[in-house]
Amino acid sequence: MSVYVMVNGIPGNMGCMVAETCVARGLKLVPYSLTGEIIEEKEKVVAGVKVELLKPSTRENVIADVMKRYPDMICIDYTHPTAVNDNAVFYVKHGIPFVMGTTGGDRVALQKLVEEKNHPSVIAPNMAKQIVAFQTMIEFLATEFPTAFSGYKLSVVESHQKTKADTSGTAKSVVASFQKMGFDFSENDIELVRDEKQQLERMHVPSEVLNGHAFHTYSLDSADGSVHFEFQHNVCGRHVYAEGTVDAVSFLAEKLKEGKARPFNMMDVLRSGKMR
């Protein structure tokens, strides 16, 4: 089955990597990409395909023709946190199935939009299957053993490349699970490390991946300080997210073919056993 994908967020690093991974995995790259109004480039060659970049001010004039040429395409979104909700409205308006890899935005409004319209989509704060499994484990702990860490204190530190504009969606999701366990801890309490000197010396991020990494540490300490638990996941580079994104596209394409498409998350993809 040929699957056409429109990767939005080119010429960004993540958008380009996802596009290259799609082609490497046998998906067909649509030669158009939604991009930001401030982007000066008009086109970008990715994986041997010349991709025309469409700004918010011009996309409505072009999308009908794009959809006519690629009627069954699926959009992948790796744009900017500020564009999340506007892009989702655009996809729903035009009936385009999508995978939302971009973090940030109003996630409650995003989820409400796709659920009210029963719009085919995969939305998740993280596309890496191993981290999705970790999130599922913490959520299981919160559901099955909510008092296991009563009286403990939680601290969360996350380090990403200095260009990341928002707090990690993964960290927010994990914190939401810990909140179910009674921790008095909000998203605003998450410590963001964006200074490269701290990333090198404190977080021990390898210098070669400063421009693309995700180091997270979740620490739980007993009230008297005698017991310490620590959950950590450190990702160097972006490839693991790109692979998971392509898994999500393949999963959604299969559901569309079966006539069973609806809003999904990465836990649905993981449970399906379709992830490589």
Q: For every one of its 276 residues, what pLDDT tens digit does the chain have, with 9 covering 90 and above?
A: 689 999 999 999 999 999 999 999 999 999 999 999 999 999 999 999 999 999 999 999 999 999 999 999 999 999 999 999 999 999 999 999 999 999 889 999 999 999 999 999 999 988 998 999 999 999 999 999 999 999 999 999 999 999 888 899 899 999 999 999 999 999 999 999 999 999 999 999 999 999 999 999 999 999 999 999 999 999 999 999 999 999 999 999 999 999 999 999 999 999 887 666
Q: What is the pTM of this model?
A: 0.85
CB atoms within 10 A of CB 76: 30
- Are residues 243 and 139 located together in one domain of the fold? no
Structure confidence at residue 165 (pLDDT): 80
What is the CATH number for 90? Answer: 3.40.50.720
What is the CATH number for 225? Answer: 3.30.360.10
Q: Which of 44, 129, 160, 255 is catalytic?
A: 160
- Residue ranges making up the domain that contains 134: 129-236
Structure confidence at residue 274 (pLDDT): 65
Instruction: Please say if 160 is a catalytic residue.
Output: yes
Structure confidence at residue 104 (pLDDT): 87
Q: 109-141 as b/e, with b when 16 or more CB fall inside 10 Å?
A: ebeebbeeeebbbbbbbbbbbebbebbeebbeb
Number of domains in the chain: 2
- State the number of CA atoms in the 13 A half-sphere of 104 facing the CB: 15
- Are residues 97 and 11 located together in one domain of the fold? yes
Q: Which of 44, 164, 213, 216 is catalytic?
A: 164
Separation between Cα atoms, residue 229 and residue 65, nearest integer Å? 55
- Are residues 230 and 243 located together in one domain of the fold? no
